[in-house]
Amino acid sequence: MSMLNYTMFVSDIDGTLVTQTKNIPVANQQSISAFREQGGYFTLATGRSYLEAKRFIQELKVDLPVILCNGAVLFDPATKELKAVSSVERGLLFRLLTQLETWGQEVEIFIYSLDRIYATRISPPLQEALKEHDDQFPLELIPTYDDLPDVPVIKVVAVAAPHTMPKLHRWSDSLNYPLETVQSSENFFEILPGGTSKGNAMEQIAKRYRLTIDQCAAIGDHLNDLSMVRKAGLSAAVANAHPELIQAAHHVVPSNEEAGVSHFLNQYVIHPRTAVQGG
């Protein structure tokens, strides 16, 4: 039986668990192992799809359901099942795509299903950047959105330059649709089914293991981590995190390049040394 105050630990991947070169620091791996050895439950929460997250799931031997696509999908390592928690209604999807198309070359649009990503175009620079990730990013180019297969759509991602992001935020604030929007990196703006978030998915997994949300610890770096950082009983932002996440978290730990996940686990979760203080 676990004697930990925080029985479940959930970590974001990019900008948090892994370095800029997408490697997991040894210190992070060791601290996660120590947490699990004391009876802790560990999982990941990411904006990535399953294929994009698969390497990290396997490397860490995650056995709890993994939160994918910012909470829209759960992957169960025990059964290998990918489950869509929610999807965007098709009529609403086409209304959304019609609006996004008016942005022209300023925004590139990607439509995520459970196992494939669809787009009508991709710029040469982005295509070049994704070339080495072909096995993780199964992109299918379609002539028009009318050619989109009738499959559940998990999320829509608008890729744009950082200076376009404030405009995308203002546009999303004006929408009267049952959708969630979140900026997950400096270039990625994500549109999800209503009620979808990492925080809600974390709470769902906690209930599955008869845990309360107060027994969960979470760490992240960007705005798509806000929901779980605000919900968790204990939370941290890495030093390289978005200012709004730093403000929301209970603790600020070293950056992803300095094994901030390990610091959080060692100092506050496995061997707590101070009382939680609101950020």
192-233 confidence digits (pLDDT tens): 999 999 999 999 999 999 999 999 999 999 999 999 999 999
Chain region(s) in the chain for CATH 3.40.50.1000: 8-84+196-270
Model confidence band, residue 2 (pLDDT cutoffs 50, 70, 90):
low
State the virtual CA torsion across 238, 187, 21, 38 in degrees, nearest 10: 40
Q: Is 103 exposed, middle or buried (0-12, 13-18, 19+ CB in 10 A)?
A: middle
Model confidence band, residue 246 (pLDDT cutoffs 50, 70, 90):
very high
Model confidence band, residue 158 (pLDDT cutoffs 50, 70, 90):
very high
68-72, 110-114, 130-134, 238-242: the lowest-pLDDT one: 130-134
Does residue 3 register a pLDDT over 90? no
> What local confidence, expressed as pLDDT, does residue 133 receive?
60
Query: Percent of the chain, pLDDT > 90?
Result: 84
d(CA 137, CA 48) in angstroms, rounded, equals 10
Topology of the domain comprising 90-193: 3.30.1240
> What local confidence, expressed as pLDDT, does residue 176 receive?
87
Largest CA distance in the chain: 58
**Does domain 8-84+196-270 fall into CATH 2.60.40.2550?**
no
> What local confidence, expressed as pLDDT, does residue 131 receive?
67
How do 155-159 and 108-112 pair as beta strands?
A: antiparallel
> What local confidence, expressed as pLDDT, does residue 277 receive?
45
The length of the chain is: 279
SS (H, E, C) the chain: CCCCCCCEEEECHHHHHCCCCCCCCHHHHHHHHHHHHCCCEEEEECCCCHHHHHHHHHHCCCCCCEEEHHHCEEEECCCCEEEECCCECHHHHHHHHHHHHCCHHHCEEEEECCCCEEECCCCHHHHHHHHHHCCCCCEEECCCHHHCCCCCECEEEEECCHHHHHHHHHHHHCCCCCEEEEECCCCEEEEEECCCCHHHHHHHHHHHCCCCHHHEEEEECCHHHHHHHHHCCEEEEECCCCHHHHHHCCEEECCHHHCHHHHHHHHHHHCCCCCCCCC
> What local confidence, expressed as pLDDT, does residue 115 receive?
85
> What local confidence, expressed as pLDDT, does residue 9 receive?
98
Chain region(s) in the chain for CATH 3.30.1240.10: 90-193
Tens of pLDDT, residues 61-73: 999 999 999 999 9
> Model pTM greater than 0.85?
yes
The mean of the pLDDT values for the chain is 92
Query: Percent of the chain, pLDDT > 70?
Result: 94
> What local confidence, expressed as pLDDT, does residue 276 receive?
47
> What local confidence, expressed as pLDDT, does residue 274 receive?
47
